[in-house]
Structure 1
Amino acid sequence: MIRNILFAYVLFLFIVTIGNAQEKQMFYVGTFTTEGAEGIYYCSLNSQSGEISLENTFKGVDNPSFLRLSPQKDFLYVVTRATPQVEPSGGFISAYQVGEKGELHFINKQVSNGAGPCHVDVAPDGKFVAIATYGGGTTSVYAVNENGGVEPALTVVKNSGNGLHPNQKSPHAHSIKFSPKGPGIFSADLGTDQLNIFHFENGSFGRYEQEFVKLPAGAGPRHFVFHPEEEVIYVINELNSTISAIKKENEKWYVFQNISTLPDDFKGESNCADIHLSKDGQYLYGSNRGHNSIAVFKVNANQKLSFLGTVPVEGNWPRNFGISPDGNWMLVANQRSHNITVFRMNHETGMPEFSGKQIDLPAPVCIEYQ
């Protein structure tokens, strides 16, 4: 009898432990240490209640403005901004090994080959890393060695050109991503109104015949996302607060829709930042800094967007946001109000609904789920 009771108690503890583990969704937060942060924060999201808890702080990382985990979640790659006195080229790409409890162990770093590194992506096979620099207008690709470290850049591309807006006096590469549908890399350049297209396969880098997609003058492309099924890319434009939908037909990419992220009656200043699709690909979201909202769109059968409205972010300057891997939560990193706010996703309407939950963290600018 006693043995049965002990067995039942142990089983109960095991079930509770597993349940608690499944309730927690871990994520890293990139920050600006020049605005009061201490480095990279490691947090947990309770997938039942929406509560956020700070689990660990990894100090001594200067301005970790963007983070990306490897496909196996065993390495974290971070672009960091440095002063000219520390690194004349402007910054670094750093590699960390991820421990069993999410702890970060520094492996190595390489120079960013441009000032203001602002975005990083990892190839689907984990063998290469690519970064973009805003100040330098460069894109660089690095090989990853067996221990997860980054080798010196395989290739560095310096963009050229300018645009009509005062913030477009020179190139500003703002994001870069490996294509999920073939051997390619795309990069949005805010300064030249271009989505640049590169061919990349087995470490060989070059240009396609179509070198870029030209966006509307003064748009300022910043971030972009790939449609999960169709050859469609949605680009969020910082300077004119729009989203451009780009489609590939007959081996040619072209813009087939431009749509505002702001309500018609808004008269103030606002700049777009981040963009994400819902897990099922039916809804698209973009962040408005200034209007301080998330713009919500329905993705129609023809991949065109219909504007559904905006949701206040309950903070100031939503530079980055992320939808949880289970698709049930949205976390919004509000840089200037120094908080991350939590929204429950309404799967019937597509609208994020504020949960009342948030956490105060200094200058959060990037969310990366583990």
Structure 2
Amino acid sequence: MKVLIGGYTKHDSKGIYELDFSGENETARLDEAKNIIEVSGPTYFRKDGNLIFAINKPNNNEGGISVFKLNNGQYEEVETYLTPGSSPAYVGINRERHLLYTANYHTGIISVFSYDENGKLTLLDTDTHTAKTLGPRPEQVDGAHPHFFDETPAGNLVCCDLGNDTVEFYRLNDENKLEHLATYKNEAGFGDRHIVFSKDGNYFYVAGELSSKINVVKFNENTWEFEDIATYSTIPVDWDKHNGAAAIRISNDGRFIYVSNRGNDSITVFAVNEDHTLKLLQRISVFGEFPRDFNWDDSEKYVVVANQNTNNATLYLRSSEDGMLTPIQHDIEIPEGTCVVFSN
């Protein structure tokens, strides 16, 4: 097993790094990071077999997606799709249907691509978010900011818009065109960033970057009815410094939710109650600063968080019984990390 970490390349980073995983349980360790792909600003990326789809920001005028294919132990760039302006902030994937979804925070554009086994990209459709319901915070007043674009449990598409405080739902029709289906509106200033769904597909949990909150919502993916269930803070009640909630993940059994806090520099762990409300279990240090992303292996036993501002990562053991995290390795050197992917 290996861990891949990419991020910004403003200082020392050259792109995407690979760290070998060794040992098990309390003796598990990540070895020294090796640069395997040189690419500018791979702040988010996805892997499908021998293909890696990475955000690329090669210059100040263009940004987009580059595709790298593993050949004879080395990754080679096989495709690049660039557009004027900033690069996307998020990449989603459907490996069975060979589809990619991108959300561009700065341009407001969400896009759907198809790809073949060699990594060739074909743009299927786009939609541009407009300033319909902008929130009051400084990060929102300049326009729409789609920050996430991926699939729902029923196979529709969902986008979180930080600028508009909304969750937008779409379908990709038989002509491979995006059709807007519904909108869920959060409280003003919530700053919708990322979203996860319950195991039964009847609830979603959306992380608000600007509010440092998680909103629990019951919804029906046939009638598009929404019910606001509850909202929870990801930071302590007495925290008075800046914080931005970032990544959110839910365990495969649907029992635990995890969210990273950039500022409080922690991972907050919630238990999911039978009625889908949440119970705070743990708030644990990331042993660094600005944890934009974290991820786990297929068994969800090991968790790695990347700390962007302190150029390090931390490895935890996760209990499947009580959901708690136990740190087992600190100060893993990795430059400017913002995206973590486990690879077999």
Flag the 1:100–1:341 CA change in 2: closer, same or farther, 3 A.
farther
Contact 1:328 1:344 in 2 (8 A): yes
Over the matched positions of the two proteins, sequence identity in percent amounts to: 26
* 2:9 aligned residue: 33
| Structure 2 counterpart of 1:217 | 188
Deviation string, structure 1 residues 201-235 (Cα, Å, up to 9, x no partner): 4552232442x211111010111122233322211
1:112/1:140 contact within 8 Å kept? no
**Secondary structure at 2:10 match in 1:** helix
Letter in 1 for 2:53: Y
The SS at the match of 1:204 is coil
Alpha-carbon separation, structure 2, partners of 1:242 and 1:299: 15
Count of residue correspondences? 336
Residue number among 136, 139, 155 corresponding to 1:164 in the alignment: 136
What is the match of residue 42 of structure 1? 18
**Residue matched to 1:109:** 80
Please say if 1:363 is aligned against 2:341.
no
The answer for the alignment partner of 1:67 in structure 2 is 45
TM-fit CA distance, 1:166: 0.8
Q: Gaps spanning 5+ residues in structure 2: where?
A: none
* TM-score with structure 1 setting the length: 0.85
Q: Does the aligned pair in 2 maintain the 1:278–1:323 contact within 8 Å? A: no
Partners of 1:63 and 1:129 lie apart in 2 by 18
Question: What residue is the counterpart of 2:219 in the other structure?
Answer: 248
* Rounded Cα–Cα distance in structure 2 between residues aligned with 1:100 and 1:296: 41
1:291 pairs with 2:264: yes
Match of 1:218, as an amino acid?
G
Q: Measure the CA separation in 1 of the matches of 2:101 and 2:83.
A: 10
Whole-angstrom CA distance in 2 between matches of 1:334 and 1:134: 21
Match of 1:4 in 2: none
Report what 2:321 is aligned to. Answer: 348
2:289 to 316, 339, 344: 316
2: CA distance, partners of 1:54 / 1:342? 13
SS across alignment from 1:308: strand
Higher helix share: 1
- Are positions 1:57 and 2:29 aligned together? no
Aligned to 1:9: none
Change (3 A) 1:43 1:126: farther
Q: Check 1:262–1:55 CA distance in 2 against 1; reply closer, same or farther (3 A cut).
A: closer
Instruction: Please report the TM-score for the alignment, with normalisation by the length of structure 2.
Output: 0.92
* CA distance in 2 between partners of 1:204 and 1:325 (Å): 31
Distance 2:229 2:23 in 1: 37
Contact preservation (8 Å) 1:50, 1:357: no
Contact 1:30 1:367 in 2 (8 A): yes
Q: Is the partner of 1:198 in helix, strand or coil? A: strand
CA gap 1:83/1:309 in 2 versus in 1, 3 angstroms: same
